[in-house]
Amino acid sequence: MNGYIIRLNESNEEKYLRVFNVNNISPRGYDRIIYVIDAFHNLKHSLIDRIDCLYTKSTEGKPTLGVQSSIQDMKSLYDIIHVDRKELSPLLKTKVFATISMLLSKIHEEGMVLSQLESRSILISEEKVILSSRSIDPLNDKFGIYQWFAPEKLHTMNSPESDVYSLGVILYELLFGQTYLFDSSDRNELMERRLKGETPEIESSPLSDFILKCLSLDPTIRPTSKEIFLEIEKGLVFPGTQLDQTLEYIESIKHMPLEICQKGPIEERYSLFLRVSDPVISFVIGSILNEQGNSKGLTLIESSSKAFFAPAQFCMSSLLESDQKESLIELRNSATGGYIPAIAKAGILALQNRKFNEAAMFFSKAAENGDILGLTNFGNMLLIGVGVAQNIELGLKYLRQGADLGDSNCQFILGSYLVETGNNDEGMKLLILSGKQGNLRAQSAVAFDLCDEKSPNYNPPAALQLLKGLAKTGVVDAMVKAGLLLKEGTEGVEQNYEQAAEYFRQASEKNMPIAALEYAEALIQGKGVKQDVKKGTDLIREWAEKKGNPDAMLRYAVLIQNQDKQESLKYLKRSADAGIPSAMYLFAQKSVGSERAVYMKKAAQKLAIAQYTYSKMITQGEAPGTQAEADEYMNQSINNGCEAAKYEAGIKSLPNTSGVELIKDSAAKGYPPALSTLGILMLEGTIVEKNIEDAVKLIRAAAMDGYPEAMYHYSKILAEGTVVEKNVELAKEFLKRAEENGYKTR
């Protein structure tokens, strides 16, 4: 049995991957294994010398390219285990184990790794084992490559450790006849279970324990490929294997050279193929030459493009980007020729130019062909009804398809939609998966959800940890949110003005208005930063004057109201006219006549306190409207949580139970008049149960908040000394303050 390693797409893999996947062709449709265009790309594998011919037509007559090699008797390990359901002999299992381990150790010694290692990329027969760095089988099941995917590859590059993880999954297949965590419902659940470190319950044995070590969530715990090969030499084999047979086989392969590179100019080696003037071959060899800086490469690609080969036209559109007109012509020709990447890119260009109907047409075709850009964009357009009639069901179908393929953007869009529509658990799973792949929008969505008190996932410490990581990457919203969490302090998050001020400063420098205003407030108050009233005031004025920020106008108006009332009123009105509800309310309070009524009515559209005030204005004849309208505004105010409205409605309803409940509810929110009234009712004990101790606490709380009636009653309690310790001097002080604040003793 001989072992071979096929290196596919050695360099510039991302750049050329889509260009060279002309069609998805299934090897099962041929007598011999057909390697699609990727295999031909860099011509760096040991089977090159045994190429029988190049295919430029598929069995259906469609343009494609295949490299046919004389290995017709071989099958993929995946097909043998999962399709044919055949049991390999213990010796053959051990030979596969030893061969792959030996090849991996040699690859890793050369400082290389495999981009994709799975049982589909292992071809075996009784005579040889071939290991490809890319699967040659279509990924059309519910898991795809994720069955062999190391968890850390969601956010890091390929590594020797990730190769070992994939080998562990393959060994699990060989030992148990099924993939690791095969009972997962889809790719998302599979990856989530792996990220949690979940392992299957299997009977302990030297081999099964070793497999679980390879599958460790911590890459540093996994053995190296060299250590694995040494373990096989020491006797780590599949049950039923004769050790002497294993050692004999190992000895025959351990010194076998790793063949990964063919020497010699491409033009000389493939001149025969070039003479055919086939556009597919011209394109492939031209691409290789162009990558190597050979000017003949561009000529070959151009000739292929002129022969209407769509992938070549797409490639030319990229090479001609400096000439936008010609580039667009090539792109449109490629798209017209049915090349899916070109169709998807045409959709992107149409979207950028706000030609939504045209974009939807392109994305629809790309989505039908399983293109990720098509699935993402057309799915989203269907979801929101842009460029195409809204069809939520179909939009979700495309987005789920993309999410199942592991696309982070599809996971983000679908996850966000599910959270917004009440499916929080599934939505958050998708957002977390998307975030772990580096999608900053998904990470932000998860962090903001963790900050939301109404969310079932509310977890401020976890949110802060995520926000800090996002802030380091320059996400401005994360800087602001982290600053607010640290400024306010909340469950599990210790108040830290210094860190908060620093986040606000950083976000302020990136032109974030709310951050600039928060940083200005920190400067004015000296919280977390050296106090500098002038600098803080100047910063707010800059955002109000030069940048025209309505919130800055409001803050500046409040800041200077005692120094320059006219200037303050000017900025307050500008903020109100810009639509800031609190500015409308404050400006109305400072206005008279019809202007007061107009601005208070505008504020009442948003603010509960303005609804309450406008209701009173109608009742008192200060604003136009009927009593029914006044009552409606009052009800809106109560429903929207205005404690003043709730308290007044409660007073009007006394002694009814509904009135008591409204006053109690308002008191629970800390509204001073409600605290005072409930305290007095408890002292009297007629409408509510008498409770002198609680009554005194309520009255004292309202008095400390400066409510005149409460200060008066608390002064009486102190003077009498029956419930609390008598304190005549303090009683006089509270009485004086009550009278100064307009309370008239009866």
Q: For residue 581, what pLDDT is reported?
A: 94
Span 584-590, mean pLDDT? 94
Q: For residue 723, what pLDDT is reported?
A: 80
Between CA 15 and CA 341 the distance in angstroms is 12
Name residue 557's amino acid: A
What tokens does 702 get?
């309202």
What tokens does 590 get?
């400072």
- State the DSSP code for 493: B
Q: For residue 221, what pLDDT is reported?
A: 93
Between CA 543 and CA 564 the distance in angstroms is 18
pLDDT more than 70, % of the chain: 80
DSSP per-residue letters across 64-113:
EEEEEES-TT-EEHHIIIIIS-PPPPHHHHHHHHHHHHHHHHHHHHTT--
Q: Looking at domain 74-253, what is its CATH homologous superfamily?
A: Transferase(Phosphotransferase) domain 1 (1.10.510.10)
Asked if pLDDT for residue 347 goes beyond 90, the answer is yes
Between CA 348 and CA 362 the distance in angstroms is 9
Q: How does residue 14 score in pLDDT terms, banded at 50, 70 and 90?
A: very low
Q: How does residue 473 score in pLDDT terms, banded at 50, 70 and 90?
A: confident
Q: What pLDDT, in 10s, does the model give residues 101-117?
A: 887 887 787 677 766 67
pLDDT more than 90, % of the chain: 42
- State the DSSP code for 146: G
Q: For residue 274, what pLDDT is reported?
A: 59
Pairing state of beta strands 2-6 and 128-132? parallel
**Which range, 35-39, 89-93, 618-622, is most confident?**
618-622
Q: Environment class of residue 409 by beta-carbon count within 10 Å: exposed (0-12), middle (13-18) or buried (19+)?
A: buried
Asked if pLDDT for residue 35 goes beyond 70, the answer is no
Instruction: Find residue 66's DSSP bridge partners.
Output: 55
Between CA 82 and CA 289 the distance in angstroms is 40
Q: What pLDDT, in 10s, does the model give residues 193-244?
A: 777 777 777 888 899 999 999 988 888 999 999 999 889 888 888 888 888 8
Check if the beta carbon of residue 442 is closer than 8 Å to that of residue 407. Answer: no
Nearest to 184 by CA among 153, 216, 143: 143
Q: For residue 621, what pLDDT is reported?
A: 92
Residue range(s) in the chain whose domain bears CATH number 1.10.510.10:
74-253
Q: What pLDDT, in 10s, does the model give residues 645-675?
A: 999 999 999 999 999 999 999 999 999 999 9
Asked if pLDDT for residue 162 goes beyond 90, the answer is no
Residue 11 burial (CB count, 10 A): 10
Name the CATH code of domain 658-746 (choices 1.25.40.10, 3.40.1080.10, 3.40.50.1110, 3.40.50.300).
Answer: 1.25.40.10
Instruction: Find residue 155's DSSP bridge partners.
Output: none
Torsions phi, psi of 456, nearest 5? -65, -15
Residue range(s) in the chain whose domain bears CATH number 1.25.40.10:
658-746
Q: For residue 16, what pLDDT is reported?
A: 22
What tokens does 302 get?
């151009």
Q: How does residue 73 score in pLDDT terms, banded at 50, 70 and 90?
A: low
DSSP per-residue letters across 592-606:
-HHHHHHHHHHHTTT
Check if the beta carbon of residue 409 is closer than 8 Å to that of residue 376. Answer: yes
Asked if pLDDT for residue 81 goes beyond 90, the answer is no
Q: For residue 201, what pLDDT is reported?
A: 76
Asked if pLDDT for residue 2 goes beyond 90, the answer is no
Residue 638 contacts by C-beta under 8 Å, 6 or more apart in sequence? 645, 646, 649, 662
- State the DSSP code for 145: G
